[in-house]
Structure 1
Amino acid sequence: MKKTLRALFILLFFWFALALYFTNRIMYMKKKDEDFILNREKDAGRFNPKDFESRPKREVAIASPFGYSIKAVLVEPHQTNRYIIISHGVTETKINSVKYMNLFLERGFNALIYDHRRHGESGGKTTSFGHYEKFDLKAVVDWLKIEIGHDIILGIHGESMGAATMLLYAGLIEDGADFYIADCPFSDFQQQLAYLIKKDFKLYPRLLLPIGDVILRIRDKYSIRNVSPISVIGNIKHPVLFIHSRKDDFILPTMTKELFEQKNGPKMLYIAENGLHAQSFNENRVDYERVVDEFLQKYVEPALST
């Protein structure tokens, strides 16, 4: 009997320790070195420091509802009411958003790029893969509308976690932009974690996720189950362009296809042929820009003329 209890205790301790490690990976996911991001984007020709510095811009600090500052850069080379907000992916910074910013600057938009909580220059202690980040995005949207005016034509572009954050904001808090571009989002965080647990840990997710969720509720005050863009996608009325790379093996393209199918109203889907996760723009730039132009011409330009 004692041996059975001892074995049970060891097993429970093992699963608790594994779940603690698992929640650490979620809350404190290792970020890329900021110099690495900068040099990577420079070497690839996606970030030109002289060009960036020459842009009419200003650095701003936006108050998060959670008590820290969200650091952003507002770039305004055009006399226009068209604006785009770029929401980067996990482990990245706003430097990774510059390539998307430039795409929209070339199309007559002004742009705001910002660092998510616990990334870049922004505050915040943990990463929540969209749960807390969606409220920060609302703060960014609200600040921009107060600063520039509520009559702006506003788009939001999100990549990976930034795309999931954007969809959660639009579907759960407010459909506050005129259009959205969701590049390689996950459809449901619990399903995404289950996939990664099987892929990376070689474990059965139903044994780890429940206890991990309990510990996450205690440590970071939210449930994995609440981070689910697919559950709120039906609330988004404005146009959404969904983008994913066919060969993405980190967030599977089936997730974007599911989101596209569940979205009501105006929408487009582009599955890029080349590149892995978050590489659709980098590996398919001509087609990426073509699809963005088609989306804007179909859904944004007609709205401007009415």
Structure 2
Amino acid sequence: MFKQHKKLWIWIASVLGVLVIAFAGAGYYFYNVAIVPGQKSFLSKKHALKKSDPLYKQTKWYNDSKKERWYLTSTDDNLKLDANYIPAAHKTNKTVIILHGYMNNKDTMGPYAAMFHELGYNTLLPDARGHGQSQGNYVGYGWREKGDVRKWAKKVIAHNGKNSQIAIFGVSMGGATTMMTSGQKMPSQVKAYIEDCGYTNAKTEIEHEAQTIYHMPGFPRFPLVEILSGYTKLNAGYFLNDADSLKQLKQNHSPMFFIHGSKDNFVPTKMVYANYHASRGPKELWLVPGASHAKSFATHPREYEQKVRQFLDKYMA
């Protein structure tokens, strides 16, 4: 009898050991997929610029424009961060800081820079840590980047003066970064925020991506996401639940404009309602008809510019 029990316990221990190794390996795999910068198979590939592109003129303007290179060193990890600064056509104290999405870079935000330039603003386009020309070996999902945005805002003030007026604008992960930035103490010169298709929480978004992008409806959320979050804490300094737009928005009392495509399947459209209701300051919401993820500007460029202008005119006098 004793031998039988011993064999049973050995078998149970062996199975548990295999499961632990399997889950640890799966967590490490997903860490490399979700957190480590690099090319991702689930993201659409960049294509050559064509005149038929809805934002062709804006992209070409950005490509041809003269840019100043700005640099910053992050306070926490001592990373060298890179940005492009484009002064407005006429001298102004108004600047928009433009934040890109996951695995994109400052140059992919060129059309938005063109739009804000048309509206009379200086524009600053940073590369987030681990993206473009900025240093870093992880993606911060907005949580680690929010302090960098605050430093960029202070750099704008040092460059353009204490009378600066600053708006923060971001798309996708940049939108989430915008919302997370709004919940911390910012310089008084930061007057307004615009977020386009940002998620509510990094952990929730990663769970959604695992189920939809990888076609894993039976995805074992527990314990894989917790293991991934643990790897992220060890290697990138934060748990996935830390990157929470909702929690930060509850501390925001500044004006916020929420934009989201009605056909967004990557960051589900329903997330924008939770984000909107969480914010404590003046706020507006535009659900963009027929727009998929990060395609609101390309889908309705004139209306997009008009609504952004109307919002900023209220708070960037």
Same fold by TM-score greater than 0.5: yes
- Structure 1: distance between partners of 2:275 and 2:247: 9
The counterpart of 2:24, out of the listed 10, 16, 22, is 16
RMSD across aligned positions (CA): 2.2
Matched, 1:63 2:78: no
Q: Which has the larger radius of gyration?
A: 2
Residue aligning to 2:286 = 270
Matched, 1:178 2:173: no
Q: Is the 8 A contact 1:29 1:91 kept in 2?
A: yes
What is the aligned residue count?
A: 298
Residue aligning to 2:4 = none
Distance 1:37 1:71, change over 3 A: farther
Q: Is the 8 A contact 1:198 1:204 kept in 2?
A: no
Secondary structure of the structure 2 residue equivalent to 1:256: helix
The counterpart of 2:118, out of the listed 100, 106, 110, is 106
Secondary structure of the structure 1 residue equivalent to 2:108: helix
Matched, 1:293 2:312: no
56-65 vs 135-144, which moves further: 56-65
Secondary structure of the structure 1 residue equivalent to 2:277: helix
Question: Following TM superposition, by how much is the alpha carbon of 1:215 offset from its aligned partner in structure 2, in angstroms?
Answer: 2.2
Q: TM-score, normalised by structure 1?
A: 0.90
Q: Give the aligned residue type for 2:70.
A: V
Question: What are structure 2's unaligned runs of at least 5 residues?
Answer: 1-7
The counterpart of 1:192, out of the listed 205, 212, 221, is 205
Distance 1:268 1:175, change over 3 A: farther
Residue aligning to 2:247 = 231
- Structure 2: distance between partners of 1:120 and 1:43: 26
121-130 vs 199-208, which moves further: 199-208
Question: Following TM superposition, by how much is the alpha carbon of 1:272 offset from its aligned partner in structure 2, in angstroms?
Answer: 0.7
- Structure 1: distance between partners of 2:229 and 2:69: 37
- Give the 4+ runs in structure 1 shifted more than 6 A: none
- Structure 1: distance between partners of 2:27 and 2:220: 13
Residue aligning to 2:130 = 118
User: Which structure has more helix as a fraction of its residues?
Assistant: 1
Question: What are structure 1's unaligned runs of at least 5 residues?
Answer: none
Q: Is the 8 A contact 1:198 1:205 kept in 2?
A: no
The counterpart of 2:38, out of the listed 30, 33, 36, is 30
- Structure 1: distance between partners of 2:197 and 2:187: 20
Question: Following TM superposition, by how much is the alpha carbon of 1:293 offset from its aligned partner in structure 2, in angstroms?
Answer: 2.4
Q: Give the aligned residue type for 2:48.
A: N
Distance 1:92 1:53, change over 3 A: closer
Distance 1:52 1:193, change over 3 A: closer
Secondary structure of the structure 2 residue equivalent to 1:253: coil
Percentage of pairs with the same residue: 24
Q: Is the 8 A contact 2:95 2:123 kept in 1?
A: yes
Q: Give the aligned residue type for 1:152.
A: S
The counterpart of 2:260, out of the listed 240, 244, 247, is 244
Question: Following TM superposition, by how much is the alpha carbon of 1:55 offset from its aligned partner in structure 2, in angstroms?
Answer: 3.7
- Structure 2: distance between partners of 1:186 and 1:276: 14
1:199-214, aligned counterparts within 5 Å? 199=212, 200=214, 201-202=216-217, 203-214=219-230
Secondary structure of the structure 2 residue equivalent to 1:164: helix
Q: TM-score, normalised by structure 2?
A: 0.87
Question: Following TM superposition, by how much is the alpha carbon of 1:11 offset from its aligned partner in structure 2, in angstroms?
Answer: 1.4
Distance 1:53 1:170, change over 3 A: same
Q: Is the 8 A contact 1:175 1:237 kept in 2?
A: no
